[in-house]
Amino acid sequence: MAQNKKTMELNEVEVWDGNYANASALRQAGVDVISAYPITPSTGTVEGYASFHANGYIDGEVVIVESEHAAMSGCVGAAAAGARVATATASQGLALMIEVLYQASGMRMPIVLCLVNRALAAPLNVNGDHSDLYLTSQSGWISLDACNPQEAYDLTLCAFKIAEHKDVRLPVISNQDGFMTSHTAQNVRPLSDEVAGKFVGDYLEVNSLLNFDHPVTHGVQTESDWHMEHKAKQNDAMMKSASVIEEVFAEFEQISGRKYNMIETYKTQDADVIIVALGTTYESAHIAADNMREQGIKAGVMMPRVFRPTQIEKIANALKDAKAVVCMDRSAPGGQLGQLFQDISSALINTPARPIMSNVIYGLGGRDMTVIELEDIYKKAAKDVENGKLSGSIQEWVGVRGPELKYYNVEGN
């Protein structure tokens, strides 16, 4: 594979946005096939990789197809044939390919998807929220979440090693916030090509369709005779992948000095009030938490770095001493409580911990969530702790114009 000499030095600082970080990780991973139908705001990932290909830095194939459904179908076909495969998409593109996501995980194809999170229509919106991230929640894909371009680069590299592990063999999504990460240029310290390539390793073919000495088939029909057993084994592999993910994160720390955890926390050890959030909001909440501590409120922040499989025990342990937990969902809940709220609540339900739980819907379609608004959320939760109960509604919409929106009122009025 031809090398990009600019990135040969170990830990040379570059200025990349999240899409270029994805593209660089795909290049260094030695991907054989990219099958894609670019869509905003993930287009830069495919464009960056295609540029590497056009300039002779990689030998892999770039296949631009007629739709996102075809893009993931191409990935499944290439993976079944024994190739290392990846793609990128967002929003409506993810919605169109969702059928094939279930095919990929059911066939145990170790595909990597760079998902640049964006709102789902209608109305049409090209900006970031977590609607598409949540759409994947039961698709059988491992799902990792980045807060910035450095993390997007690191986690995309880790995704290949996790997906292809012999005890996993499941597809992996590397998430990042649309525009807020994908189009924001920040300092990134990449690995050298040699170190990154050695970390990801050579691709190990398993049940390749092109291995004529050991013929196989994929995607067969099972019906009621074997379908449940098949899905049980698939789910078992997903649940047990946590140990492999931790091993990969530990190995990555050894070569990069950057540590990733299944659950990321900030000042939660003694916190009375904890905000739980994904993506860029996790970093913004750090600032708000620091400001609150200066005002005497013991504030902390938590983020599930691994969104799927859900880390129930680790979530419960991180929140066991909290007095109030506010779950921040950046997606319209569709007549229910938010997905993150439900994940966190289910982790606590059979434990002695009984924090005051509330759900904030925010940031839809790229609407800003400011540090001041986060501070107000902390203050309200701290007031609830002082009063010993949740005041008013479990769910509130923050940052929306018009009448105040509150739902699931605990007092029944």
Of 396, 329, 337, 308, the closest CA to residue 130 belongs to 329
With 0-12 / 13-18 / 19 or more C-beta atoms within 10 angstroms meaning exposed / middle / buried, residue 137 is: middle
Q: Does 108 score more than 90 pLDDT?
A: yes
- Which of the four pLDDT bands, split at 50, 70 and 90, describes residue 161? very high
Q: pLDDT tens digit string along 373-403? A: 999 999 999 999 999 999 889 999 999 999 9
User: Beta partners for 264?
Assistant: 303
Average pLDDT score, the chain: 95
CA distances from 123 to 15, 116, 119, 120, 127 (A): 34, 19, 9, 8, 12
**Dist. CA 330–CA 177, nearest whole Å:** 11
3-state secondary structure of 344: helix
Q: Does 343 score more than 50 pLDDT?
A: yes
Contacts of 3 (CB under 8 A, 6+ apart): 57, 193
3-state secondary structure of 305: coil
Of 70, 44, 50, 25, the closest CA to residue 160 belongs to 25
Q: What is the pLDDT of residue 183?
A: 98
With 0-12 / 13-18 / 19 or more C-beta atoms within 10 angstroms meaning exposed / middle / buried, residue 349 is: exposed
**With helix as H, strand as E and coil as C, how does 169-222 read?**
CCCEEEEEECCCCCCCCEEECCCCHHHHHHHHCCCCCCCCCCCCCCCCCCCCCC
- Which of the four pLDDT bands, split at 50, 70 and 90, describes residue 8? very low
Q: Does 5 score more than 60 pLDDT?
A: no
3-state secondary structure of 147: coil
**Cβ neighbours around 385 below 10 Å, total:** 18
Q: pLDDT tens digit string along 292-334? A: 999 999 999 999 999 999 999 999 999 999 999 999 999 999 9
**CB-based contact 108:142 (threshold 8 Å):** no
Q: Provide the token pair at 20.
A: 């270029």
**CB-based contact 260:249 (threshold 8 Å):** yes
- Which of the four pLDDT bands, split at 50, 70 and 90, describes residue 413? very low
**CB-based contact 2:57 (threshold 8 Å):** yes
Q: Does 86 score more than 60 pLDDT?
A: yes
Q: Does 1 score more than 50 pLDDT?
A: no
- Which amino acid belongs to residue 291? N
- Which amino acid belongs to residue 324? A
Q: Does 2 score more than 60 pLDDT?
A: no
Q: What is the pLDDT of residue 275?
A: 99
Q: How many residues does the chain have?
A: 413
Q: What is the pLDDT of residue 10?
A: 54
| Cis preceding linkage at 215, omega within 30 | no
**Dist. CA 339–CA 238, nearest whole Å:** 19
Q: What is the pLDDT of residue 12?
A: 87
For range 36-41, the mean pLDDT: 98
3-state secondary structure of 143: strand
pTM of the model: 0.96
Q: What is the pLDDT of residue 410?
A: 77
**Dist. CA 79–CA 192, nearest whole Å:** 26
Domains of the chain are: 5-256 (3.40.50.970), 263-409 (3.40.50.920)
Of 48, 266, 274, 25, the closest CA to residue 151 belongs to 25
Contacts of 212 (CB under 8 A, 6+ apart): none
